[in-house]
Amino acid sequence: MTGELFSPLLLRSGQVLSNRIGKAAMEENMAADGQVPGKQILTLYRRWAEGGAGLLITGNVMVHAEALTAPSGVVLDAHSPLEPFAEWAKVGKSGGGAMWMQINHPGRQVPSAMPGVVWAPSAIGIDLGRHTKRFGRPVAMTPQQIDDTVTRFVVTAHRAEKAGFDGVEIHAAHGYLLSQFLSPLVNKRTDHWGGPLRNRARMLLDIVQAVRTAVSPSFSVAVKLNSADFQRGGFDADDARQVIEMLEPLGVDLIELSGGSYESPAMTGRPADESTQAREAYFLDLARVLVKRGPVPLMLTGGITQRYSAERVLDSGVAMVGLGTALTLTPDLPHRRRDAREADRPTEPITWSDKALAAAASMARVRLQMRRLARGRKTNPGTNPAIALISERRRQRKALRVYRAWLSRERGTTGR
């Protein structure tokens, strides 16, 4: 299996990935002044580039400066300077792997303390029980705002190519804007962006088609898609199958399967429904079906930390194995896999009864490990999740003051 894991993968664009290990996107929350990648991000990605993965995908880069998931998020739009992004692309490719930018719009998944806009397909807010007030109340997008957002994705993709990235991954999973349009629980529109799945997928399809037209044929275009939202009555496995069939004719190079949202954070290991705890097997069962149905290569992400898990995934016919948290603890894990060595000790799962708080702590602990790597330090799998969460919230309060000042000074408050 080692030979297959380290065999090249030829994509539709003509790009060749040197092996089948991909570093999946994880939101770094390390933007320098001006919401651009700075020294910390460059150091972090240099560590990962040296680790031997065939593909590095950045954490989500926002297409709209007034719509961020956190105040220290990175933005690439028509006004952003390209030089910091060119440095990021160069560093990411320095180890011989490909470097893709994940591009995203948060939609309604915006903290209530943030300035700017909170948009969604319909005016339906996030329901997190006692934590609901942590997020802004969304307004339903107008047709003009939808069209403008499609354009924003295209601008960001085009500028990513100019900066030297090898591709983009359009984020349509984890409850962000495009995932919201796909969800029948969030999208209650009665126009041609709502109702049947084909309508709910319209915005995603329009973005993919427009991006594919705007970039070079050799530039890769991928999509991250939920296999399911893990919410009763939400986007499910059959919906995912149909959307992939819609995407296939549009020239997509790779589809990454994941799952969950802020309301049901399966991507952090804590879906709302405990029966979905074995989500890795769930994702894999869906992947096996999809592999037989279409030619688009699939990348499977979620809990694939052990070698036997990676072998299982590739044996199913999935083309790429996506690693996330494992690479924050063992950044050279791909090289270790080649040499039949194992990962460093993993973190213990967070089993707090408050699932929303546990998910936030899990993400905070991952970001703390990334910051350690960005400072050239060793990671610490034994980090106390409560301490990580407190540290993260302190950092975000400070970053919020900086972001507010920048947004007011540089962009004003247009788009509200």
Confidence at residue 88, expressed as pLDDT on a 0 to 100 scale: 98
Asked if residue 415 has pLDDT above 50, the reply is: no
CA–CA separation, 275 vs 272, rounded Å?
9
User: Domain boundaries in the chain?
Assistant: 2-411
First vs last Cα of the chain: how many Å apart?
Answer: 53
User: Which residue, among 226, 56, 191, has the nearest Cα to 121 in the 3D structure?
Assistant: 191
To which H or E segment does residue 99 belong? strand 98-104
CB 374 within 8 A of CB 41: yes
- pLDDT, one tens digit per residue, over 131-145 is 889 999 999 999 999
Q: What percent of the chain has pLDDT over 70?
A: 90
Question: Three-class SS of residue 274?
Answer: helix
Backbone angles phi, psi at 223, to 5 degrees: -135, 135
CA–CA separation, 327 vs 48, rounded Å?
8
272 pLDDT band (50/70/90 cuts)? Answer: very low
- pLDDT, one tens digit per residue, over 230-252 is 656 678 888 988 999 999 999 99
- Segment 197-226 mean pLDDT: 97
Asked if residue 111 has pLDDT above 80, the reply is: yes
| DSSP alpha helix (H) spans, 216-272 | 237-247
User: Taking the CA atoms of the chain, what radius of gyration do you get in angstroms?
Assistant: 19
DSSP string, 324-377: SHHHHH-TTHHHHHHTTPPPPPPPPPP--S-HHHHHHHHHHHHHHHHHHHHTTP
From the candidate CATH numbers 3.30.479.10, 3.20.20.70, 3.30.300.30, 3.40.50.720, the one assigned to the domain spanning 2-411:
3.20.20.70
Question: Three-class SS of residue 149?
Answer: helix
